Amino acid sequence: MSRKADKKSWLITGCSTGFGRVLAEKALARGDRVAVTARRVDAISDLCAQYPDTAICLELDVTNADSVKTALERAFDAFGRIDVLVNNAGFGIQGAVEEVSEEQIEQLFAVNLFGVLTVTRAALPKLRDQGGGHIVNITSVGGRTAAPLISLYSSAKFAVEGLSMGLAMELAPFGIKVTAVEPGAFATNFAKRVEQPANRLPAYDEAHDQINAMLADHVFADPAGCAELILKVVDAEEPPKQIIAGGFAWQVVEQTMQAQSEEMQKWRAVSEAADQQ
């Protein structure tokens, strides 16, 4: 199958709703080929009906290695190559570290971190064989800066950031790029269906009230804007390693890094003394 520079082949996880779905729609609308994947294929089959020549719909559960392997094989068979692999599947929990159950933490990491690893590791031999590719990991502004009651979600997203940046250096010799895309607040299902903690504690009521009030007032952006950003990133000659999606999130990250720099300066002498060599 011949490939024009402007026609890419994609595989995207978690396409039943949110960024995954909007991104698949945008890429298909511009003529790219997309392996649209989700845990339940009936949630995405309309896209294959609409784009019979360029979309394939595949069942893919990132927590199931067999399902990942099968979907990747079918996608590579159908398109001959995958230019862009998007690890998008994920979910969030709003709760204090003390309030979330062990099972919730386990599940959060199973999807948000280990799922990314499973998909990426399964795709790597083929990406190296084809001599190029772009891995896009959807993290969050919460992968750059943490806030109360999303500490565990942030941990998982921070982990994906650390993974992405080391992976980028490992894969550069093979022509494979890696970008972490960090959306702020968009009107995806994520915004309204964040999981609640298993054990609510009165000690954190005030923190919950504050966050809920903030979310209630927040103007959520159209996820199409984030999908457009991802198209720009994958079309770029030199894509960023990390990119924030959203102006408000951008400000928050800028402020966080400013504060980190200031704190480092303040403690520089102590840091220096810690390592006299």
Q: Report, as residue numbers or ranges, the catalytic residues.
A: 153
Q: How many residues bind other proteins (CB under 8 A)?
A: 92
CB of 38 to other proteins, least distance (A): 21
Q: Does 151 interact with other proteins (rule: CB under 8 A)? A: yes
> Which is nearest to 218 in space by CA: 242, 246, 196, 243?
246
* Owner of token pair 């490939």: 3
Based on its alpha-carbon atoms, the radius of gyration of the chain, rounded to whole angstroms, reads: 20
Instruction: Considering only residues 173 through 192, tell me which ones interact with other proteins, judged by CB under 8 A.
Output: 173-174, 183-187, 191-192
Q: Does 219 interact with other proteins (rule: CB under 8 A)? A: yes
Q: Does 4 interact with other proteins (rule: CB under 8 A)? A: no
> Looking at 1, 5, 49, 274, which residue binds other proteins (CB under 8 A)?
274
> Which is nearest to 165 in space by CA: 183, 177, 174?
177
Q: Does 266 interact with other proteins (rule: CB under 8 A)? A: yes
- Residues 261, 266, 269, 275, Cα dihedral to 10°: -50
CB of 42 to other proteins, least distance (A): 24
Q: Considering Cα of 84, then 90, then 96, then 102, what sign does the dihedral take? A: negative
* Stretch in the footprint of other proteins (CB under 8 A) among 5-13, 40-48, 81-89, 143-151: 143-151
- Give the span between the Cα atoms of 68 and 83, in whole angstroms: 17
Instruction: Considering only residues 22 through 61, tell me which ones interact with other proteins, judged by CB under 8 A.
Output: none
**First-last CA distance in the chain:** 58
> Looking at 57, 160, 234, 252, which residue binds other proteins (CB under 8 A)?
160
Q: Does 124 interact with other proteins (rule: CB under 8 A)? A: yes
Instruction: Considering only residues 78 through 107, tell me which ones interact with other proteins, judged by CB under 8 A.
Output: 96-98, 105
Q: Produce one character per residue of 147-164: b if its CB has 16 or more CB atoms within 10 Å, e if not.
A: eebbbbbbbbbbbbbebb
CB of 44 to other proteins, least distance (A): 21
Angle at 118 between CA 116 and CA 119, to 5 degrees: 65
**Tokens standing for residue 144:** 């750059």
* Stretch in the footprint of other proteins (CB under 8 A) among 1-9, 38-46, 75-83, 124-132: 124-132
CB of 30 to other proteins, least distance (A): 17
> Looking at 38, 57, 161, 234, which residue binds other proteins (CB under 8 A)?
161
Left, alpha or beta for 31 (phi > 0: left; psi -120 to 50: alpha)? left
* Stretch in the footprint of other proteins (CB under 8 A) among 10-18, 33-41, 45-53, 215-223: 215-223
CB of 53 to other proteins, least distance (A): 29
